[in-house]
Amino acid sequence: MADTRMIKVLITGGLDSSLLMGMLSNCDLKIEAAPDMTVSAEKLAHFNYDAVVASNLSQGDASALSTLLKRHGEPSLVLVGKGPTPDYAATIRLDEGVTVHDLVTACRFPVHDIDDGRFQGPFDRRGLVGGSEALRRVLVIAEKVAATDSTVLITGESGTGKELIARAIHRNSHRCNAPLVVINCGAIPRELLESELFGHEKGAFTGAHRARPGRFELADGGTIFLDEIGDMSPDLQVKLLRAIQEKCFERVGATHSTHVDIRIISATNKDLTLAVAQNQFREDLYYRLNVIPIIMPPLRERRSDISLLADHFTDKLARRTGMDEKRFSQEAMAIMTAYDWPGNVRELENLVERFSVLVDGSVVEAEDLPPHFLAADSQDDDLPSLYLDVRHGVNFHESMEQHQKKLILQALNEANWVKAKAAELLNMKRTTLVEKIKKMKLEDGSVTTTV
């Protein structure tokens, strides 16, 4: 499928917009142009771009553009021609004689950098939208491990993008031209999973009318991604361990071994260390799989990415269906950012699709959000979110006191203001809780209850 990600073309001198537009017009990219920094600021504030192309920047425009990019998702900056380099990490510099191929490559494969300087591009991170520190640290590990054949175990809650990071590792590896074979170990009945993994010979069991290769054979030379590995039965875990250790296995019903050259990436939303302790998962297999661990952060730990992801899914859906793009009001986005997203990125993507169908206007307002979003927000109207952007400075002690107040009120409401029960929920002494209630001047807003 063609890559149709939006590329923003910004021209401030030297090469003109028509030349750059002409160079990129026949490529699988969605191009827009901004004649000046004012228009650039407006576009960056409302749309999610993968790359920004600029030519011959002045010192003032270089500084202004750097500020804008840091504020709006940190897309890659592709500089064409001479001029100062902005104070911006994800920058690619190209000369004025750049070819169309080099320009398209720079736009299509964004470059990102972080403080330790170990994450360098180009690294194809398509689908992994966001600039949060939590996501960046995952991408650092992904880029480093992509250059190796090390076995990777990806853990994290459902909907966090475990398959996306597995695909990125394969796509950026030397195996990228060989297959990436995906199998969901939890979606296939146990009695059929062995045949799916290793294949079978003709007559191996009832219904085996012909020999059939398994996923391990299909992945030869490439990568096999074992999703939901924690759901695999103990007897099959033994056979998988041998296949990983020796890179060979037997088809069901076969009398000879098949050797393969594959890379193993697995994923699970379960706590495998707990499963090992409970004898539900083999310890030796766990250590064989967990050579390079990658933990995908839940969406509530990367709240700064929510608006970027929402715009990304909106743009993606509009391209796929031809429907008009929806935008989010400030109030709606504030509520969405404060929401905890138990379904993570998948829940957000599904919500965006719901808006595209059910919201008549072009702007999603707060009242368009599902009732449980509004209910969660109404409970916190007078209380700040724990999430704070420390880049703008915070009062640490005041913020912690406010968070304590929020927790205490939640416990009191849950306990119907029975202080002994609320103290038990908070795992603190009742006398300590009473002191804090007096200090914070909290009052029961519902029913007066004696303890």
**Residue 127 and residue 394: Cα distance in Å, rounded?**
32
Compute and round to an integer the Cα radius of gyration of the chain.
Answer: 26
pTM (two decimals): 0.60
User: pLDDT tens digits, residue range 283-293?
Assistant: 999 999 999 99
Residues 281, 325 share a domain:
no
Give the CATH number, domain containing residue 354: 1.10.8.60
Residues 425, 396 share a domain:
yes
**Residue 292 and residue 181: Cα distance in Å, rounded?**
19
Residue 183 pairs with which residues in a beta bridge?
Answer: 226
Residue 117 lies in a domain: no
Residue 120 lies in a domain: no
Residues 306, 165 share a domain:
no
Residues 309, 285 share a domain:
no
Residue 14 lies in a domain: yes
pLDDT, residue 9, reads: 58
Residues 363, 285 share a domain:
no
> Is 224 in a helix, a strand, or coil?
strand
User: pLDDT tens digits, residue range 42-64?
Assistant: 777 777 677 888 877 777 888 88
Percent of the chain with pLDDT over 90: 27
Residue 199 lies in a domain: yes
Looking at the predicted structure, is the pLDDT value of residue 250 above 70?
A: yes
Task: Kindly indicate the confidence band of residue 394, based on its pLDDT and cuts at 50, 70 and 90.
Answer: low
Domain tally for the chain? 4
Cα four-point dihedral sign 11, 12, 15, 18: positive
Nearest to 375, CA basis, from 427, 425, 340 = 340
| Continuous H helices in 339-418 | 344-358, 371-379, 396-414
Residue 119 lies in a domain: no
Residue 384 lies in a domain: no
Task: Kindly indicate the confidence band of residue 7, based on its pLDDT and cuts at 50, 70 and 90.
Answer: low
Give the CATH number, domain containing residue 50: 3.40.50.2300
User: pLDDT tens digits, residue range 147-188?
Assistant: 999 999 999 999 999 999 999 999 899 998 888 999 999 888
**Residue 369 and residue 249: Cα distance in Å, rounded?**
51
pLDDT, residue 109, reads: 57
The number of angstroms, rounded, from the C-alpha of 373 to the middle of its chain's C-alpha atoms is 21
User: In which element (H, E) is residue 268 found?
Assistant: strand 263-268
Residues 158, 223 share a domain:
yes
Cis? peptide before 122, omega within 30° of 0: yes
Percent of the chain with pLDDT over 70: 82
Residue 145 lies in a domain: yes
Residue 385 lies in a domain: no
| Pair of tokens at residue 297 | 């952060």
Task: Report the relative pairing of strands 327-328 and 363-364 from DSSP bridges.
Answer: parallel
Query: Which of 355, 379, 403 is the last residue in one of the domains?
Result: 379
Give the CATH number, domain containing residue 435: 1.10.10
Task: Kindly indicate the confidence band of residue 116, based on its pLDDT and cuts at 50, 70 and 90.
Answer: very low
Looking at the predicted structure, is the pLDDT value of residue 98 above 90?
A: no
Residue 37, domain extent: 6-108
Query: Which of 268, 295, 322 is the last residue in one of the domains?
Result: 295
Looking at the predicted structure, is the pLDDT value of residue 115 above 50?
A: no
